[in-house]
Structure 1
Amino acid sequence: MWVPVRYRSGGGGRPKRKIYYRDHELDRVMDLQKKPSLILELKSIIQSQKSRSLLLRDLEKEVGFVKKWNFMNAIEKYPSIFYVGGGNRTPPFVRLAQKAEKIAGEEAEARESMEPILVKNLRKLLMLSVDCRVPLEKIKFVESGLGLPNGFEKTLIPKYPEFFSVKDVNGNACLLLESWDSSLAVSAREEKLASEGILASAGNPRKVRISKDGNYPGPHAFEMSFPAGFRPNMSYLEELEKWQKMEFPSPYLNARRFEIADPKARKRVVGVLHELLSLTMEKRMTSAQLDAFHSECFLPSKLLLCLIKHHGIFYITNKGSRSTVFLKEAYDGTNLIDKCPMLLFNDKFAALSGRGEISSSREMMPSTKHVY
C-alpha cells in the first residue's frame, strides 16, 4: 500500500512519497484465519439443524453455489471433524465426528463464561458514544467481532434491564445505556499501565527520553510497534516524544466538550479508536465497522489518514475481502496475546484439523517485534 504525502521543499521539486510499511505477520493473520473460520461456520450450520446433521444436497441452500465447494473440500479434507454418512437409499449427509461432537459440547460453557464479558463491553461501548446510545443496526454490524450471539437483542439484552433498554429514536431502534458506571470508564490502555505500575509512579516523574522504538514509560503514552524497515529520524522521534508526553482527556468523557482543533482532543481520538478495538474479541475491526461509529464517537472525517499517521499503534491490511484495522500491541507476531473463552474454544475445535492450538501468551511464542 502506497500513501502519497506531500512535503514542502525549497527546490520546488517533485513531491516525495511516503511508504506505508507492511507488517507481514499481521497480513498473515488474515490468511491463517481462513481455514478455522470455514470449519467453525460449517460446525454452526450442522448444529443449527434439528437432526444435528445436514444433507449434502442442502448445503447449497445454506451457503450458496460458490461457497458450497469450499465447504465440500473441507468436509473431504477433515474427516476427524466431519463424518459423511448415507448412500444407497439414504441421501448422503454430514455431521460432526465423535470427537468433534464431544468438543463442540464445551461451547455452551464458553458462551456462559463470555456473557459477563459481553455485558461489560457492551456497556463500555455505549459509554463511549456521545449520547450513551447506538443504533441496533450498527451493533449488529459488529456483533461477530464483539462476540455477541445472533439475536442478542432478544436473548441477552432483556436479561439486563438495569443496564440496557431498546427505544425508538428518530425512527431507528437504538440500544440505550440505563445507568452510568464510573468504574467501567477506565480504558484498556489505563488498565494495562496500572498493571505495569506506570500510573502509580506518575506522581513522581523522572526524566526519561523516548527510545528509538517510539516507546515512552509515561501515563499518557501509547505502546508503539514500528513496522520492519521503518527508521524514524531524530525530528520524528522528538515530535513523537512531545505527543507521548501530552496529557489528553479520557475517551469516556463526552466528545462534545472538546474542540477538535485542540491537539489534546486529537490525541483523545486515538484513545477512542484504541478503546473501540480493545472491546473486540480479536482486537481488530474492518475499516467499515470502525467508521460505522463515526457520529456516535465523533471520529475524524479523515479516519484513514488518522490511522496511517499513528502506524505505530494501528495497522491496516488489505488482505482478505475487506480492509481490516489491527490494534498492534494486542499481537505478538501472528499470535493474539490475550484470548477470551470463546476464542480459546474456537482454537480447540479448529485444532482437530491438525493445525494445532494457538498459544495465548507471549511466553509460548518467540517475539517477532523489531526494536530500532
Structure 2
Amino acid sequence: MAWRLLSSKTLISLFHSSLSPSPSPFPNPIWSSLLFSSPFSTSFISTKTPRKLKPRKKKKKESPRTKLVQHESNRIHHFEHLVQRDSFLRFVTKSKIFLSKRPEHVLRLDDAGKLHHELGFPRGRKVVRSIEKHPRIFQTYRHTDGKMWFGFTDLVEELLEEENRIMDEMEVDRVTRVRKLLMMSKDKRIPLSKIYHTRSLFGIPEDFRDRVSKFPDYFRVVVENDGRRVLELVNWDPALAVSQLEKDFVLDEDKVKKAFTFPMKHGKCLDLDEDDARKLRLLSSLPLVSPYSDGSGLDLWTVEAEKYRVGLLHEFLSLTLEKRASIHHIVEFKEEFSLTKHTYQMLLKQPRTFYLAGTEMNWVVFLRDAYDEDGVLIHRDPQVVFNEKLYRYAEML
C-alpha cells in the first residue's frame, strides 16, 4: 500500500506541519486518522456527571387554580360533591337567569355561541353540546326566519311560575335578610349592584330594585356622583341585631364555646389559677364581638378584630339560603365588611365551624353545623326545595 512507501522523515515533517497554523496539506480525513490515532483506548474514563453534583430539577408547583383546598385525608365528600354538582349545573343556573329576562324566554343559537360567560358553558365549545346534556330543561327549534333558536321546555315554564310565587311569598323574609346585611355593613349602606349580583345567594328576586320603594321605613336609595345607586339603612332594629351565633349560645353554651379557637401566644407556664385559666380559654375560643357592632375601628391584627371578622362571616353564611358561599360572593362585600386578604387563611383556622371545599383559587365555604351527616341542609328554605327539584330534572336524560 502507498502509505508504507512513506519514510519516517516524511511522516515527521507531516506531523510538524499539521501543528502549524497553516492549512493542512492532507485534506483527506483518512490521512488524519492514520497520523493521529492513539494506540490506547480511553473508553474506561467516565464522562457522566455524578448524581449528587447534578442540579436538582425544581418540582413544578401545583397551580392554586387546580390545587384542592383539602388533603384527601381531611376531605368531606358530600361537601365536595355539592361543589362539583354546582360546576356541572353552571350552564343550567346561568342560562335560566339569562333566558328568564329575555322576551319569550328564547335566544338565537348564533347569538348564544358568543355568550359563554353569560350562559356558563366552556369557552371554545359549542353551546349545543351543553343544551343536549339537559333535554328536560332546554329545547331547540327552527324559527320561521330559518334560524335555530333555543329556550325552555314547557316543564320549566311551569316551574318558573312556581318560582315567582315563592318570591312573592318570601318577600318579607328577603327584606329582613337585606336589612341585616345593611346593619352588618361598615357604613350601613351597600351598592344595589352588589346586592343584585349576589341575589341568588339570599333568594332575592330579580326585581328587588323595584320592590325597594315599597319599604320606605327600611331602605333609602341614594344616587352618588358617579351614578352608582346605593341602598342605605333607614332605621336600626335592635331586635334584628342578634346573630345566629348568639341564639345558638343560649341553646347550647358549651357547643358554641368549642366552635372556634383563637390561639394566643403566651408563656408555657403562667402559673394561673383555675378561674384565670378558664378566662384565658374563653378569650381564645368564643368570639365575643358581635357582627352587628362597629368593627371598622378595630386594629386589623388583634384577636378582637379576628373574632369580629369570623363572627361576621358566620352570620353572613347564616343569612344565605344554603349556608354556604363562594370566594366571589365574599369578596363582593370585602369593603363593606372590612375583610382582609387573609380571609382564606382565617377560615382555614376554624375547621370545627367552617369547611372549605374546591380549589385554593375558587373555594366555597360551608357552615358545617347547618348540614346533617349526609350533607343535607337541616333547615331548607322554599327556594332551596325548588332549586333541588330543578336540579333533579336537569340531571335527567
2:347 equivalent to 1:307: yes
Partner residue, 1:128: 184
Q: Partner amino acid for 1:289? A: H
Partner of 2:242: 186
C-alpha distance after superposition, 1:5-52 (max 9, x if no partner): xxxxxxxxxxxxx97944333222111123333223333444433233
Contact kept, 8 Å, 1:38 with 1:71, in 2: the verdict is no
**Aligned equivalents of 1:320 and 1:217: distance in 2?**
29
Q: Which residue does 2:377 correspond to in 1?
A: 336
CA distance in 1, matches of 2:359, 2:396: 21
Q: Which residue matches 2:311? A: 271
Q: Secondary structure at the match of 1:43?
A: helix
Larger radius of gyration: 2
Is the 1:27–1:319 contact (alpha carbons within 8 Å) kept by the matching residues of 2? no
Shift of 1:106: 0.8
Q: 1:351 to 1:168 in 2, by over 3 A?
A: same
Q: Which letter maps to 2:351?
A: H
2:325 aligned counterpart, secondary structure: strand
Q: How many angstroms apart in 2 are the aligned matches of 1:336 and 1:240?
A: 34
Return the match for 1:116 from 172, 179, 183: 172
TM-score, normalization by structure 1: 0.69
Q: Determine the structure 2 residue equivalent to 1:10.
A: none
How far is the alpha carbon of 1:309 from its aligned partner?
Answer: 1.3
8 Å CA contact 1:42, 1:71 repeated in 2: no
- Pair 139,72 (structure 1): closer, same or farther in 2 beyond 3 Å: same
CA deviation vs aligned residue, 1:177-236 (integer Å, no higher than 9, x gap)? 000111111112233455xx33xxx6xxxxxxxxxxxxx335x55389xxxxxxxxxxxx
Q: Cα distance, 1:140 vs. partner?
A: 4.0
Does residue 158 of structure 2 align to residue 158 of structure 1?
no
Is the contact made by 1:168 and 1:174 (CA closer than 8 Å) also made in structure 2?
A: yes
Verify: 1:217 aligned to 2:221, yes or no. no
What's 2:387 paired with? Answer: 346
1:77 aligns with 2:133: yes
Q: 1:146-170: per-residue Cα shift (whole Å, max 9, x none)?
A: 33344633x1322212111122567
TM-score scaled to structure 2, two decimals?
0.65
Write the distance in 2 (CA, Å) between the matches of 1:323 and 1:288: 9
- Counterpart amino acid of residue 370 in structure 2: A
Query: Following the alignment from structure 2 to structure 1, what is the Cα–Cα distance between the partners of residues 162 and 360?
Result: 30
Partner of 2:288: 248
Match of 1:59 in 2: 112
**CA distance 1:170–1:294, shift in 2 (3 Å):** farther
CA contact (8 A) 2:134 2:396 kept: no
Aligned to 1:14: none
The question of whether the paired residues in 1 share the 8 Å contact of 2:353 and 2:367 is answered with: yes
Change (3 A) 1:253 1:62: same
SS at match of 1:84: strand
Task: Indicate conservation of the 8 Å contact 1:113/1:341, yes or no.
Answer: no
Conserved 8 A contact 2:287-2:308: no
Gaps of 5+ in 1: 3-17, 203-215, 225-237, 357-372
- Matched with 2:162 is 106
How far 1:345 moved relative to its partner?
1.5
1:175 aligned to 2:231?
yes
User: Residue 57 of structure 1 aligns to a residue in which SS?
Assistant: helix
Count of aligned pairs: 308
- Cα distance between partner residues in 1 of 2:302 and 2:96: 50
- Judged with a 3 Å threshold, the aligned counterparts in structure 2 of structure 1 residues 98 and 127 are, in CA distance, closer, same or farther, namely same
SS at 2:151 equivalent? strand
- The amino acid of 1:297's aligned partner reads F
Identity %: 28
Letter in 2 for 1:159: K
Distance 2:287 2:105 in 1: 55
- 2:93 matched residue in structure 1: 40
**Partners of 2:167 and 2:204 within 8 A in 1:** no
Kept in 2, the 8 Å contact 1:85–1:93? The answer is yes
CA contact (8 A) 2:182 2:232 kept: yes
Question: Quick one: which amino acid aligns to residue 322 of structure 1?
Answer: N
For each residue in 1:279-312, what CA deviation from the matched residue of structure 2 results, as whole angstroms up to 9, or x when unmatched? Answer: 2222222334324434433335532221121122
SS at 1:124's partner residue? helix
Which secondary structure state, in structure 2, belongs to the residue aligned with residue 277 of structure 1?
Answer: helix
One-letter amino acid of the counterpart of residue 133, structure 2? K
The alpha-carbon distance between structure 1 residues 296 and 322, as it changes in their structure 2 partners (threshold 3 A), is same
Q: Which runs of 5+ in 2 are unaligned?
A: 1-60, 63-69, 262-277
- Cα distance in 1 for residues equivalent to 2:105 and 2:130: 18
